[in-house]
Amino acid sequence: MDEHAALPTGVPTPKKKANAASPKKQKPIQMELAVPHPAPEHWREVYDLIHKMREGVVAPVDTMGCHTPAELEEDPKTKRFVTLMALMLSSQTKDEVTHTAIGNLRTALNGLTLENVLAAEDSVISGAIAKVGFWRRKTEYIKKASQKLKDDFDGDVPKTVDELCSLPGVGPKMAFLCLQSAWKLNVGIGVDTHVHRISNRLGWHKPPTTTPEQTRLNLQSWLPKELHYDVNHMLVGFGQTICVPVGPKCDQCELSVRKLCPSARVVKVKAKGKGKAKVEIAIEDESELSEPGSA
């Protein structure tokens, strides 16, 4: 059995209250493809090389990712709540900014707890998170999601993707990552812009995917489940340090050296006057790999 799929012992499942108001029916999140996507050729070699490259570089996600703020908390319930808050602030925002915003929010509220969020004025929350993307909207989402947690889930983070996605401001990416970090439940892959971009650059999707959800379903259909827990963290760090959105550092990438990345190519440009020819790295078909909006 996958170690990440095991439920923590001694922790009751948050129960949805029977008298909770039922909003409009939510469409269940698709969990698998009817026909699995074929596993890409050489995918294991590529995966292992990326993993090895990641071991030698500390990326922002390693020290300031959404899993890190909860490490300062002792109460398990508060840990889960802080993890959810960090994920909700993270969309369209760099890890460094999210990490600072969570610290600001913790200070402004004298502790980042469900009760303190509900008791706080919107202006206090907005002031603390003003550097994150779409901070006004996220202030509203944080307040509404916290109220729903209190009303429908006994003040705790729910344990299913569909229940998490019923919270304002929470989409599939956040839900899968939250279950992994908050509950140690490995039920799917959290696909953000880095995972979407890099897996397409590697040619892992035929045809290329256009949304994070397409990417997730494809990857889940062939990538062994024991790797679902780590693939997001690995590719996010790789995307922050080497396979960056603009000007990827293909000259530092083992996949380029070993000709395992179909998107990388070396272009030799004639140098003007004396000196050696300048060597540039170009990425092919970048127009097809536009950044998706985060959940």
CATH number, domain of 282, equals 1.10.1670.10
* Contacts with 252 (C-beta within 8 Å, 6 or more apart), sequence order: 242
Kindly state whether residues 247 and 142 are assigned to the same domain: no
CATH number, domain of 63, equals 1.10.340.30
Q: Which pLDDT belongs to residue 26?
A: 85
- Helix (H) or strand (E) holding 269, with range, is strand 264-269
User: Is 211 inside any structural domain?
Assistant: yes
Indicate if 77 belongs to the active site: no
Q: Which two tokens stand for residue 125?
A: 């929350």
User: Is 245 inside any structural domain?
Assistant: yes
* Contacts with 109 (C-beta within 8 Å, 6 or more apart), sequence order: 116, 117, 120, 124, 125, 128
CA distance 175 to 158: 10
Residue span of the structural domain in which 148 resides: 58-187
Burial class (CB in 10 A: 0-12, 13-18, 19+), 183: buried
User: Is 18 inside any structural domain?
Assistant: no
Residue 215 region, left (φ>0) first, then alpha (ψ -120 to 50), else beta? Answer: alpha
Kindly state whether residues 52 and 62 are assigned to the same domain: no
Q: What is the CA radius of gyration of the chain?
A: 21
pLDDT at residue 5 is higher than 70 = no
User: Is 49 inside any structural domain?
Assistant: yes
Report, as an integer, the average pLDDT of 23-29: 81
Q: Which pLDDT belongs to residue 280?
A: 43
Q: Which two tokens stand for residue 82?
A: 């802080």
Q: Which two tokens stand for residue 11?
A: 């922790």
Q: Is the dihedral of CA 23, 27, 28, 29 positive or negative?
A: negative
- Helix (H) or strand (E) holding 254, with range, is helix 254-257
Structurally, the chain folds into a number of domains equal to 2
pLDDT at residue 292 is higher than 50 = no
Last residue of a domain, one of 141, 164, 187: 187
Residue 168 half-sphere exposure toward CB, CA atoms < 13 A: 14
Last residue of a domain, one of 133, 168, 187: 187
Judge contact between 191 and 212, C-beta under 8 A: yes
Q: How many CB atoms lie within 10 A of CB 213?
A: 18
CA distance 287 to 263: 12
| HEC profile of 87-128 | HHHHCCCCHHHHHHHHHHHHHHCCCCCHHHHHHCCHHHHHHH
Kindly state whether residues 96 and 37 are assigned to the same domain: no
User: Is 2 inside any structural domain?
Assistant: yes
User: Is 19 inside any structural domain?
Assistant: no
CA distance 294 to 107: 27
Taking only the tens place, the pLDDT of each residue in 50-108 is 999 999 899 999 999 999 999 999 999 999 999 999 999 999 999 999 999 999 999 99
CA distance 44 to 202: 12
Which of 25, 131, 173, 249 is catalytic? The answer is 173
Q: Which pLDDT belongs to residue 278?
A: 42
CA distance 200 to 289: 7
Taking only the tens place, the pLDDT of each residue in 125-158 is 999 999 999 999 999 999 999 999 999 999 999 9
Q: Which pLDDT belongs to residue 265?
A: 63
